[in-house]
Structure 1
Amino acid sequence: MIIKVFAACVVLVSGLLGVTCLKCTTHWFDRDDPSGKGDYENLSDLLKEYPGLICPNPTGIEVQTVSGQPASQTGDIFQVNDATGGFACVNADQNGKQCADYRVRFTCPEMFCSVCRTSWLDRDDPSGRGDDETLSDIHVTYPGKVCSQPIAIEVTTISGTPALQTGNIFHVYDPLQGFACVNEQQTGSSCQDYMVRFTCPQIFCK
């Protein structure tokens, strides 16, 4: 699951319940495969290929295989693995084997996640299946109000309580998918009524 949140913790449901705490973190990016000289996820190339989705001055980098294994556990030797350069694994350095297929995400300064925000949006009520504030539905209900590829999402109840303080379990909490709370997944209660807002690349606000 691709995750990015604005300076908060999110509760994710994907088979098992987990809690992930992130600051201003980008999506996962996988622009190259190791079938050639190796796997190159260089920051300069990623900035060109995904304009506006990565800050030009990241403060941190995370690397894992596309299946989710941390890079440090693969046994591969890395040519580059830092926030300023990105990541590179060269097949010729691997003692006869090929690099794994990697993906990267970056931690950015907090300002990157707060410059271009949408208004708060509330398209659904929890009286039926639950509260669905999915990005696809929001695009239909509020055309032109949200960018096609948000870089962050914030969720509160309509009274302003942060979603993470409600005790609800969330089915979806993802800037590229939006938000969803399903009533039948709650223990002894139902979903509250939520609203969402997204952070978009700065070009969207211009």
Structure 2
Amino acid sequence: MTAHEGRVGRRRASSRAMLEEAACELFLEQTYAGTTIEQITQRAGVSRNTFFNYFAAKSDVLWSGVDDSVETLARELSNLPRGAHVMLGVRDALLATATQLTPGAIPLAITQWETMGVAEELQSSGLARFLRLASVLERHVAAAQLGSPARVPAQPAAFAVIAAAASAAGAWARAGIGRDPLVDYVAAAITPVCSGFEQVLGSASR
């Protein structure tokens, strides 16, 4: 009996978790391009329909956990106290979100992209995630400044902060075993950006 066959009868957390595990195993064994959705569902022991209950496409499996962070960020932003410094609040919300991205919640593809052969796919499908996160920030920054005489341009601010966070995630992934927590990389990257925009607001309001 193979190691995989020994796992088939074991009850695991959810069909989604089973699909994520099966996909990562297959991507490591035969690369992303060499793996089909059918192979993933067979390895996970679920139906093709079950796959599409959780993921719209094979590439979405690469970002499971990261996609959840979009909702987490929106929630953290909504929990910021009224009257808080806009861009410093953005920093705090992003750091709270990054803190929740523990190693178990970060897709293996982020750190094993070479072995899985997913470099191009991560770049392609990553753009949609970048834009989604930037959109959440843009709406918050715009809404938080309603009625304020001094305003930060919401879209450039959002894109600058998310670009810095994405760069930090890339540096974290390349750092290898023994790396510091992801949130430390994100803090170092976004704090100067958020502080810079906050200083512009302070200068304009004086």
Which is higher, the Rg of structure 1 or of structure 2?
Answer: 2
Same fold by TM-score, threshold 0.5 exceeded?
Answer: no
Q: Which has the higher strand share?
A: 1
Work out which structure has the larger RCO, using CA pairs closer than 8 Å and 6 or more positions apart in sequence. 1
